[in-house]
C-alpha cells in the first residue's frame, strides 16, 4: 500500500514514541498525587507544557492539554461563547461552512440548544475567508469569531494575521483551528495574533488522543468538562502523561524540521497537481492554487462517485480520501466542496491526496500512472 492520506493522520515518529515510553511503565504516576511517582509525572507534564509554550511563543499557563483537536475546538467555542454572554450579553458566533465539523457542528449546537446566533460567512471560490468579510459581520454582540488556519479538505491557508487584527480592533475573541496547519505552517501565536488556537497531535507525527488549546491570558472562557482542577481549572480529568509528552515532542520536531519537511513534499505535490489537471478530463483543483499547505492536493472530477474512486484506489494499493476523514463514506457531497459553488455532478467526485515524510517520488509515479484509468472507469460506472 502507498499511503497518501497524511491529512487524516500520521504515523507516530519513532523519536516521539521513545520520549513517551517511560511514562507507560517506569514513571506511571498520577500527576495529581503528592508522592514521588506523582511528582515525576507532574514534572513531565510541566516540561511538556513549557516546550509547547516555547514553540507557540506564549506563556506556559496559556496551554491547555486536551484529548484532541475537536475537544480543543469545543472548549474554545463553548467556553468563550458562554463567558462572553455572561460578561457582556454577546450572543453571535461568526464562522463559516468550510470549517471542520468540530467547529461548524459546535456552532450549530450552540445555536439550536443554547440560544446563540450564528453568522455564516461565505468563502470565495478558493475557500478563503477574507478579513473584509469578517469585519463586515462583526457587531457589538459578537461573542467569538472562528476561522481555521488551513482547510483540512482543500488545503487553503486563510489570512489569519489580518483576520486576527480585525477582531482585536473590535475586542472580539478570535479562535483559529490550526489542527491541519501545525505540521507545516508557523504557529507563533504572537505573530498570528490569535486569542485561541487548537492543535491535534496525530496530524504532525504525534499520538492520537491528545491535543492542546492555546488561550491568551485574559480571554474570557469557561470550563466545559467539570471535575477536578486540572489544566488551570479549564479541563478536568487525569492528565494523559505519555501522550502529553509525545505531543510536546512531536510539536517541537515539527517546528524544528518545518522547512525540510515542506521542501520534501511540495515538489511532489506540485507534480501531482500538474499531472492530474493535464491528463484527466473534467478535473479541477479545489482550494487556493498558491496559498495552500505544501503537502496537500485536492480535486473534483465531474460525474465521478468519489467514494467509488476511493475503493478502486484502495484496491489498486493507494490510500487516499474524498475530503475530511470525518466525511469518508458519506454519500452526500462535502459541505466544504459545495461551499465553493460546485454543482452536485462535480461535488460528489472529490479526491484529497496528502503527502508526508514517507512519500517517495516512486510512490507519486505509481499513483499518477494508476489514477487516470481509475477515474475513467469510475466515471463510466457512475454514469450507468
Question: Among all residues, which ones are annotated catalytic?
Answer: 326
In this structure, are residues 100 and 7 in contact, taking their beta carbons and an 8 Å threshold?
A: no
Cell numbers standing for residue 199: 492543535
Residue 125, exposed/middle/buried by CB under 10 A (0-12, 13-18, 19+)? exposed
Q: How far apart are CA 241 and CA 248, in angstroms?
A: 11
3-state helix, strand, coil in the chain (%, to 5): 45, 15, 40
Specify the DSSP class assigned to residue 36: H
Enclosing H/E stretch for 200: strand 196-200
CA–CA dist 72, 210 (Å, integer) = 10
End-to-end CA distance of the chain: 30
**Burial (CB count <10 Å: 0-12, 13-18, 19+), residue 141:** middle
Establish how many alpha carbons lie within 13 A of residue 264's alpha carbon, considering only the half-sphere containing its beta carbon.
Answer: 14
Q: Which of 45, 14, 15, 47 shows the shortest CA–CA distance to 29?
A: 45
Q: Are strands 2-3 and 92-96 parallel, antiparallel or unpaired?
A: unpaired
Residue 194 sits at φ, ψ, to 5 deg, of: -70, 150
CA 36 – CA 49 distance, rounded (Å): 20
Q: Any idea what DSSP says for residue 156? A: B
Amino acid at each position: 500500500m502507498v499511503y497518501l492520506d497524511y491529512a487524516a493522520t500520521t504515523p507516530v515518529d519513532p523519536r516521539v514514541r521513545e520520549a513517551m515510553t517511560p511514562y507507560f511503565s517506569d514513571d506511571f504516576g498520577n500527576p495529581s498525587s503528592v508522592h514521588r511517582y506523582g511528582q515525576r509525572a507532574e514534572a513531565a507534564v510541566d516540561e511538556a507544557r513549557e516546550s509547547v509554550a516555547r514553540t507557540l511563543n506564549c506563556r506556559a499557563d496559556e496551554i491547555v492539554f486536551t484529548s484532541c483537536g475537536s475537544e480543543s475546538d469545543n472548549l474554545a467555542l463553548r467556553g468563550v461563547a458562554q463567558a462572553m454572554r455572561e460578561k457582556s450579553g454577546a450572543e453571535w458566533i461568526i464562522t463559516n461552512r468550510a470549517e471542520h465539523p468540530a467547529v461548524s457542528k459546535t456552532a450549530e449546537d450552540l445555536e439550536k440548544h443554547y440560544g446563540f446566533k450564528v453568522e455564516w460567512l461565505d468563502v470565495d471560490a478558493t475557500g478563503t475567508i477574507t478579513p473584509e468579510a469578517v469585519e463586515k459581520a462583526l457587531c457589538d454582540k459578537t461573542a467569538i469569531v472562528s476561522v481555521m488556519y488551513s482547510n483540512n479538505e482543500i488545503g487553503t491557508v486563510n489570512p489569519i494575521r489580518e483576520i486576527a487584527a480585525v477582531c482585536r480592533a473590535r475586542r472580539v475573541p478570535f479562535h483559529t483551528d490550526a489542527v491541519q496547519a501545525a505540521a507545516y505552517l508557523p504557529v507563533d501565536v504572537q505573530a498570528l495574533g490569535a486569542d485561541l488556537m487548537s492543535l491535534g497531535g496525530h496530524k504532525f507525527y504525534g499520538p492520537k488522543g491528545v491535543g492542546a488549546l492555546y488561550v491568551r491570558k485574559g480571554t474570557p472562557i469557561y470550563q466545559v468538562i467539570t471535575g477536578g482542577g486540572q489544566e488551570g481549572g479549564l479541563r478536568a480529568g487525569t492528565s494523559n502523561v505519555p501522550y502529553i509528552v509525545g505531543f510536546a515532542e512531536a510539536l517541537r520536531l515539527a517546528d524544528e524540521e518545518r522547512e525540510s519537511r515542506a521542501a520534501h513534499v511540495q515538489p511532489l505535490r506540485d507534480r501531482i497537481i500538474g499531472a492530474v489537471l493535464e491528463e484527466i478530463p473534467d478535473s479541477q483543483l479545489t482550494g487556493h492554487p498558491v496559498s495552500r499547505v505544501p503537502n496537500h492536493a485536492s480535486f473534483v472530477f465531474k460525474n465521478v462517485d468519489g467514494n467509488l474512486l476511493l475503493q478502486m484506489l484502495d484496491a489498486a494499493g493507494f490510500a487516499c480520501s474524498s475530503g475530511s476523514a470525518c466525511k469518508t463514506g458519506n454519500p452526500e457531497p462535502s459541505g466544504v466542496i459545495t461551499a465553493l459553488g460546485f454543482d452536485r455532478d462535480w461535488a460528489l467526485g472529490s479526491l484529497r491526496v496528502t503527502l508526508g515524510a514517507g512519500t517517495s517520488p516512486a510512490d507519486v509515479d505509481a499513483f499518477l500512472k494508476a489514477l487516470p484509468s481509475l477515474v475513467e472507469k469510475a466515471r463510466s460506472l457512475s454514469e450507468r
